[in-house]
Chains A and B, each alone.
Chain A
C-alpha cells in the first residue's frame, strides 16, 4: 500500500503544479463557438482587470449533465448556451440562481421580441442575443441540381426538394424544437404535423448535432438546411458559397445566460451577466464571425448596413404560446423522433413512392386515373398523420410519463412507432398501386 501513497502524492504534485490559481475568476460553461467565447473573454478581461475568464466549452446536453452532476459543489458560475430548453431544465431542477440586473441595463431591453419573451420572467436566465430560424442553401448545389431557392417552410414539403434537405432532430436541438412548435402553433396540430411529416419525408438526412446541418450545406452534401441564422450568416461571411433567408413565418430564439446556483464566484458572475446585457457586450454581437442579433433595439442603428433586425422583421404574426410549448416539449420531441427520425427510411420511401405515383398520374392516360388519384390522396393522408391529437399531447399523464420511470412512456412510444410503421407501409403500398394504375 506504500506504492499507493507514493502514487497519490505524485498525482497531487502533478495536479497542484498544473492548476493555476487566480485571485478572481469567472467559470463559464458554454456551447458557443470559439470565436464567440474568445472575443467575449478578451473583452471582459480587458474591462475587468484581475478577473480571469475560464471557459469550459461543452455541448449543450453535456453542459446540462455537467451542471447537474456537479451540483453538490458547483464548479461553474455561468451557464451560457443557445437552447432555451436547457435553461428551463436547469431552472426546474433549481440549479440556477435568480438575479435582477441593474435597472439601467434592463430598461433598454424589451420584454418580448414579437411574441417571444426574451428573459425568464422569474429572472433565472436572460436573453442576451436573439437568433432567427431560417433556411440556408448551397448555391453550387442548387445550380447543379437546377433547384430554385426555397422561401417558406411549406417549400420543404415540395416534391422537387425530395432528398435535398437536412434538419437536426428537435430532441437534439432546442432551436429546431422551437421551429417545430412555431409550425405546430401556426398551422394547428394536424396541419402542422402533416407539414412536418411531409417535409420529414423529404429530408435527405436528420442530423444529431445542430451544427451538422450547416456542415452538410457548406460542404454541399445537401442543398438546403433548416438552421439558426448565425450559422448561415457567418458561413456567408467566411466565404462559403451559401445563402440564407428567413421565411416569413419565422421564430426567433433568445440565446441566454444564467448564473449557476452556489457557484464559486457569484460577484464575477453578476459582472459578466451585466457586461453581456450592456451596450459594450451587445455591440460585440455585430462582428461578422459572430453575427447574432442584439436585444437592445436601438443598437441596430449603430450596426452594419442591411443587418437583419428582428424588431422590425415580420415575425410570423402568431401569438406564440410559450407555456404550451414548454409544457408538451418532451412529448413533441419524442413524437418527432419516433414517427420521423427513427422511421426516416420508411417515411422517406413512402413519400418517394407517392411522388412517383403523382408523376405517373400527371403523365398518365390510363382510364383508372381517378382511382389512382384517390389512392394517392389516401396515401398522402396516411403519411401525414400524427398518432395523437394535441389534447393528448398536453395530457397530464402523458406529459408526466416523460418525467417518471413508469412504463407508460415506453408504451406510448411503442404505440406511436407501430402506428407510424403501419401507416407508412400502407401509404407506400397504396402509392405503388396508384402508380400501377396510372401506367
Chain B
C-alpha cells in the first residue's frame, strides 16, 4: 500500500473570533501512526479535516509527499477518512458501501467484487454484503467503515475518533485490531482522539493539542514521561503537580521547596544550568511512581512525604489512593497489591518515591 508523507506548515484556521487551529507545523513520516490528542474543541478535528480537504486553511500549506495540496479538492486528495459516526450510507448495502470508492475509480466489475470481498474478509465481515448498515451492530458498522476506506488503498488513513461510539470492551479489541492492521499495511495514519490511553497505545508519535496549538509533540513515552507543559502532564495520564522553588542544585539532583512547604528531590541526567537555585519550577510525579509505607517503615527512596489516606479505590491490578499531605491531595497508585497491606481511610502513611521519577515539567 502506498504511504504518504504529510507535512503541515503554519496552518491556521479561524471561525469568527475563534482560532480553531493556529500556526501548526508538523511533519508526519511515511507509515507513521500519528495521533492528534486533545480535549474537544482543541482543533484536532479541524486539523484532520484540513488534511482531508474539507476545511481550507486561512493560512499555511498542507503538503502530501512534498506537494502542496491546498488547492486540491477532497475528492482528489486520495486520503481515506473514517468518520466518528462511520457515515455509512443508509440507502446502500454493505457491499455497495465498500464498493463505492472503487466504482468512483472505475475499477472493472469483477475486480470490484474481488477487492470488496477481500476488504470485508480483512475486517472479518464476510457474509454481510447484502445487509443494510442499519442491520449491523456498532462494531460491525465500524469495520465496514474501515473496510470501505481501506479498499481504495488511500495514501493515508485519517481516523476521526473512530472508536468513541463503541463500548469499552469492543473498543479495546478494535484498538488492537487497528494496531495490527496499520502495522501490517504500513499505511500512514492520522488518528484523532481525546482518549490518551488510545493515543499512547496506538501511536508512533503524538501531538498534544490545546486551543488550536500543538503543545507537545513526541513519542508516547516522551509525552507521558517527560511532559513539557502543565497541560500535557495533566491531560495525558494522572499526575501530581508541584510548584516550587529550587533550593539547592547539586550533582544530578536538585532540591525543590514546594508552595506547600514540602521538599522534593529530583534527579536529572543533564546538569542544571548554574544559577538554577531560586528558579521557579513545576514538578510532576506520576501516581504509579509513589509507594506507600507505614509511618515507621524505612525505605531507600530519597523522597518521603507524610500524610493521611483520604480515599482509596481497589482496582485489582492496583490500588488508587488519595493522600492528604501538606494541605493538598497526592495521588498514589500502588501496583500489584497482592500480598501488600491495604491502608485504610484516615490512616497515617508515608508517600515515598525516587528522585528519578520526578519529572521537571518547566
Indicate whether A and B are direct neighbours in the complex (CB within 8 Å).
Answer: no
Residues of A within 8 A of B (CB): none
Residues of B within 8 A of A (CB): none
